Chains A and B, each alone.
Chain A
């Protein structure tokens, strides 16, 4: 079964607005990563947050991690049309050594 599940499945916002995506997972993790995928091509690593971290920033990205709720959120501030893509969370579970498991993803559309 999937380790991570993103919510919502699809999100449509206006350019300039903030976009928030959530990820829930099932087992204890070493870290959680977020990736972006444009038009079914390769994935691009965005940010990694370790299990002992609660928040991390990278440019317009802000990631939070709540290990007690087994959930994470990705916030993209001041969205641009170029942010239109699918976003996936990926977990490196302590019980699945060397496996990085991806969720089904959130499809984000940013309307100019």
Chain B
């Protein structure tokens, strides 16, 4: 049973560029949440997608946008990259609000470096 798959694993971008990160949720899961984790800090909630809609959003600027496809996979897009966007981006999946019972399943993350 495949877990959460994220791609790419590592990415280096130049300031001002745009980036797209991808996530395939665990089989049977339909809800995807994205987190940003700076070095030495806890994950920060970006947004959550369910039924192809953004259900909840954290305190991130509009440069951060997302999408969920009918197969439940998701993309995170970041425009006009800043040096401060360098972080580990984590995707977490669950079956709707079942994260309230069994928690999230996380992917291994995408390490984004902005130079």
Contact = CB atoms under 8 A, between A and B. Distances in A.
Interface residues of A, number: 25
Nearest to A46: B103
Contacts of B48: 98-99
A42 B103 contact: no
* Secondary structure type dominating chain A contacts: strand
A25 interface: no
A60 interface: no
B102 A45 contact: yes
A56 B109 CA distance: 29
Given A98-B55, A99-B56, A100-B33, A41 B41 contact: no
B72 interface: no
Contact of A48 (B44, B101, B111): B101
Interface stretch (A14-22, A30-38, A68-76, A77-85): A30-38
Interface of B: 4, 33, 35, 37, 39, 41-45, 48, 55-56, 58, 88, 90, 92, 97, 99-109, 111
Interface of A: 2, 4, 30-31, 33, 35, 40-45, 48, 88, 92, 96-105
